[in-house]
């Protein structure tokens, strides 16, 4: 019996013990690798805010904002999710009004013309909202309410071409015409922003 007990103890300490240690280490490492939602959100917010601050300075804009599409409520009686958007990030210069609080949980269908234009062609260019020859895609009344004289909107799409949001550059103090190099550069900014957002959303 003593030999049996000795063998049993040796087995437990020599085999089960190390396995238990490995299992505990695995649990601890798994916990360490678990994403921290708050920290990740703050990190992404800091990156995005730095980007739009840079864009506002680079293009002498009065307001730069980013909206994202999301679910919001359900249709009755099917229960199908409603497609909505909200302005999630905004950078505003001195003496320019913020619009972020005015655009929360907005149904996509209310802006179907402008959103469809961005979906199909990636860019909306409105150098002068008072110029009747320029297509504003239903955005003129919003411009009047927000004091916007010129606006440029860019689709934010993933590498799989999924439309996830909009980057907008507004001019409220003066009409501003951007050249093609600026438009192309801003499209690159939109692609870069898509990469940052997707790195967070895919976690």
> What digits encode the pLDDT tens for the residues 22-61?
555 655 555 555 667 788 888 899 999 999 999 999 999 9
In the DSSP assignment, the letter for residue 105 is: S
The three-state DSSP-derived secondary structure of 107-149 is EHHHHHHHHHHHHHHCEEEECCCCCCCCCCCCCHHHHHHHCCC
Comparing 76 with 134, which gets the higher pLDDT? Answer: 134
| pTM, to two decimals | 0.80
The pair of three-digit structure tokens given for residue 17, joined into one six-digit string: 């013990």
What is residue 7's predicted lDDT score, i.e. its pLDDT?
Answer: 46
- Alpha-carbon gap, residue 59 to 43, rounded angstroms: 25
């Amino acid at each position: 019996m003593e030999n049996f007990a000795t063998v049993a103890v040796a087995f437990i300490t020599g085999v089960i013990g190390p396995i238990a240690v490995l299992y505990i280490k695995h649990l601890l490492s798994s916990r360490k690798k678990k994403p921290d939602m708050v920290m990740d959100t703050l990190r992404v917010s800091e990156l995005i805010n730095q980007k739009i601050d840079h864009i506002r300075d680079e293009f002498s804009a009065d307001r730069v904002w980013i909206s994202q599409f999301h679910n919001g409520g359900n249709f009755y009686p099917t229960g199908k999710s409603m497609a909505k958007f909200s302005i999630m990030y905004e950078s505003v210069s001195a003496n320019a009004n913020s619009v972020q609080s005015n655009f929360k949980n907005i149904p996509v269908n209310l802006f179907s013309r402008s959103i469809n234009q961005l979906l199909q062609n990636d860019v909306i260019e409105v150098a002068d909202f008072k110029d009747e020859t320029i297509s504003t895609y239903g955005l003129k009344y919003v411009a009047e309410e927000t004091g916007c004289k010129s606006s440029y909107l860019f689709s934010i799409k993933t590498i799989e071409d999924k439309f996830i949001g909009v980057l907008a550059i507004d001019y409220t103090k003066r009409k501003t015409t951007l050249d093609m190099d600026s438009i192309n550069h801003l499209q690159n900014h939109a692609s870069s922003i898509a990469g940052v957002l997707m790195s967070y959303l895919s976690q």
